[in-house]
Chains A and B, each alone.
Chain A
Amino acid sequence: METIIVLVVLAALAFYLVAIYNRLVSLKNRFQNAFAQIEVQLKRRYDLIPNLVETAKAYMSHERETLEAVIAARNQALAGLQAAAKDPGNAQAIRDLGSAEGSLGSALGRLNVVMEAYPDLKANQNMMQLSEELTSTENRVAFARQAYNDQVTAYNSYRQSFPPVVFAGMFGHDQDAALLEFDDSAEIRSAPKVTFS
């Protein structure tokens, strides 16, 4: 008799644990899938930047340092993206990507300031198009980032809730996933912008 009761209780417990485990896996899957969306957009952004620098080079040969800083920051951010894409569950990789993105944002911001002194460059058709595309990509990145952060928040808050918090570590979900924050979001939003007036 006791065996039967124990069995049924065991079964119920097992289901509960399996349910927690599955929920964790599925929430993790979801934020990792959401990261793919960011990856697509960031890649597009990183592909645009060399073209932008190439176009700018023709006009501003004296600003080599600024341009090189942009390229260096872009390369670092690209490396950060590749590392994060391999394992979006790795909080450190996400934070690294966030700060690399932040530096890239400020490098672009400086370029933007410098460009003010070159009205020819600003009027360049190619440049206008690139800036326009870059701005629209920023918006896409921000949107994808919002989706990602929403999913990460859902994962983290489930992981920290009771009772899952008791078992999460056992199931290999011992760490909160990191929100993707760019250090200098304000500056990014004002990345090279050409006013059409």
Chain B
Amino acid sequence: MDFFGAQDDARRKTWRLALLFGAAVLSLVVLTNLLVALVYGWAANHTRPAAFDPVAMVAALPAEYWAWISLGVVGVVAMASGYKYLMMRRGGRAVAEALGGRLIPPSTTDFRERRLLNVVEEMAIASGMPVPPVYVVEEPSINAFAAGHSPDDAVIGVNRGTLEHLNRDELQGVIGHELSHVLNGDSRLNLRLIAVLHGILFIGVLGRGLLYGVGRGSRRRSGSSGGAPALALGLGLLVIGYAGTFFGNLIKAAVSRQREYLADAAAVQFTRNPAGIAGALKKIGGLGSGSRMRTAAAGEMSHIFFGAAGRMTLGGLLATHPPLEKRIRAVDPHWNGEFVVPAATPEPAAASEAAPEAAHAAPEGVAFAAAPLPSGTDGASALEVHATPEALAATVGRLDDRGLAEATRLIAGLPAAVHDAAHDPFSARALMYALVLDDSEDSRKSQLEHLARHAEAGLPETLKRLLPAAASLDEQQRLTLVEMAGPALKQLSSRQYRTFMDNLAALITADQRIELMEWVLHRLLVKELAPHFGAPKIRRGASGHGPDPDCVRVLLSALAREGGRTPDEAEAAFRAGMAHMGLEGEFDPRPDPDFRRLNDALRALRKTAPLKKPRLIKACAAAVTADGRVSVREGALLQGIAAALDCPLPPAIYRA
């Protein structure tokens, strides 16, 4: 299944989820009503315990009671789900925090943490998505999770045991599995699932609370029997709660199990190394604590993990994950059936990743020579194009070893100064400023003056130190740095973030002329950071929604203007793009000075349904490749615009 198919499938699963949820709530309503009827009848006939007639009891309950009870149950479930849904709107980090995760500082110097961050970074850049922040959960078992509505607010979490027991290849397997959940839209589905489950499970929680309260109350007023019906009600609610748990687990299993195989397969495709993920799974089997999670919060979130969070019940009917043996056999058919007992504390293999700088050395376990990019690549230099628009669109959201090789090469090719700066909140801002500074002496001077007045102490100095290295970066590298700096920039406080964004906007508009690339970088930064700092989220359109022709025209015109050397060439590029969409339209040769039209167009196009997006990406690719040349700038533009449309495009394609 390709990226768009998986997205669409996740959407359809959302409908199924809603249906199952409805069924579960209905069952809960009926069960609760029956329970109350029994308790009511029992309480009314208290004096004659011998006359136990359930049918008569149910019939005896007044009709309005039925209505009220049903309303109560639906209300409570809706409240519980709604509450959790609001919590989950804060994105992946809400989940990580609920599980007790601790954020790994992007500039960490701990060997194992550094290695994990490097692995996550390489793989994220390989798939064209922003690098997600990484959390560590203090649990000795081997497990990991990904959570988030989109690649922009996604986070990765791993257990301490994962860091300690897995080697680099195995980490790659696990992270590849998790990133593929994010790219396929599983992690968004999973967040919704958490909210839904919370509502269903809440009745049981309520029952437990009632039992507890009544129990304490009756102990105080020893002897009084007034609490008996409430006690029975509490007990009953608890039983219904267990029924709710059953439904909940059934839903979880129905939605998530199949997707685990897919994610495993994606991880193998990503690394071309089945030994990685198979090794991780074998170690889970060999480790005493396996992949179990001790924190209570893991219960309702068991479906977001890499391995099963709890024990298997009912012969695996309710399992969120396929059995370990089956998963291992799926990636390693020649497995001899033996688990691997992980060594207690594997030695850090040399200090190769102890410091951020060390990431420049080709990481162990990646079997290719990392040739540094030619530095100072001219943005206009042409690249050989072997890729057709169709081939380009097919790589959206794809994780493969070629992308990984390209990402490693890109990261290794970055000057050490800018690479390090991207991992530290303080210098990451300076780096982002440096990326949008002008070439011309005059406007650069006024830009620096603006920063000296409006930025925090020490920033201009840091910026000046970064400038020589930053000036030689090509567009592809700039894009990579924007993706890379995400975790560091997400560490700013809200106040610092506002200052940063204000300054960035001021720098971009300082020369009265915004370049398309600057605009794309800014667009991506906003898209990546705004959800984290609590800006309102874009609502998605209905799934039958196709791209608006006028928006397509605006977007393709902008791309064509950038790529064509002459107006005729530009118009030809535009026509090639429109032909892919099957649309007619006038080429717009005028530049868009304030980018308002392009902004609006992109915002509207972002809502396009997943299955209609490939065509849009193909059209953009066709406009870019029309003249047979793709410059690094055009390539980065295409990648940036695709990312802004929620279609992460791996960086490898231009060098195919």
Q: Which of A's residues lie within 8 Å of B, judged by CB?
A: 1, 3-5, 7-8, 10-12, 14-15, 18-19, 22, 25-26, 29, 32-34, 36-37, 40-41, 135-136, 138-140, 142-144, 146-148, 150-151, 154, 189
Contact = CB atoms under 8 A, between A and B. Distances in A.
A4 B72 contact: yes
Interface string B207-224: 001000000000000000
24 contacts: A1-B64, A1-B65, A1-B68, A4-B71, A7-B76, A10-B206, A11-B75, A11-B206, A12-B79, A19-B87, A26-B94, A32-B102, A34-B491, A34-B493, A36-B102, A40-B108, A136-B458, A139-B426, A142-B456, A143-B457, A144-B425, A146-B495, A150-B494, A150-B495
B80 A15 contact: yes
B39 to A, nearest CB: 9
Contacts of A29: 97
A148 to B, nearest CB: 8
A26 B458 CA distance: 31
Identify the interface centre among A25, A139, A148: most chain B CB within 10 Å of its CB. Answer: A139
B383 to A, nearest CB: 38
Contact of A40 (B71, B107, B457): B107
Contact of B425 (A5, A7, A37): A37
Interface string B132-159: 0000000000000000000000000000
A54 B98 CA distance: 47
B496 A150 contact: yes
Contact of A147 (B72, B79, B425): B425
A95 B105 CA distance: 23
A1 B67 CA distance: 10
Interface in B63-115: 64-65, 68-69, 71-72, 75-76, 79-80, 83, 87, 94, 97-98, 102-103, 105, 107-109
Nearest to B488: A37
Contacts of A136: 458, 461-462
Contacts of A40: 105, 107-109
Contacts of B87: 19, 22
A58 to B, nearest CB: 28
Contacts of B68: 1, 4
Given A26-B94, A34-B491, A34-B493, A7 B206 contact: yes
- Majority DSSP secondary structure for residues of B touching A: helix
Nearest to B491: A37
The 5 closest A-B pairs by CB, nearest first: A139-B458, A150-B493, A147-B493, A4-B72, A140-B426
A158 B569 CA distance: 59
B237 to A, nearest CB: 9
Contacts, number: 100
A102 to B, nearest CB: 18
Contacts of A142: 456-458
A154 B107 CA distance: 25
Contacts of A12: 79
B83 A138 contact: no
A142 B496 CA distance: 12
A68 B209 CA distance: 61
A33 B72 contact: no
A147 B457 CA distance: 14
A144 B426 CA distance: 8
Given A8-B72, A33-B102, A143 B209 contact: no
B209 A14 contact: yes
A152 to B, nearest CB: 10
B335 to A, nearest CB: 40
Contacts of B83: 15, 18-19
A135 B458 CA distance: 9
B3 interface: no
B439 to A, nearest CB: 26
Contacts of B105: 36-37, 40
B30 to A, nearest CB: 16
B69 to A, nearest CB: 6
Contacts of A26: 94, 97
A38 to B, nearest CB: 10
B494 A139 contact: no
Nearest to B229: A3
Nearest to A4: B72
A68 to B, nearest CB: 28
B405 interface: no
A60 B79 CA distance: 71
B510 interface: no
A12 B75 CA distance: 10
A150 B427 CA distance: 19
A5 B496 CA distance: 46
B524 interface: no
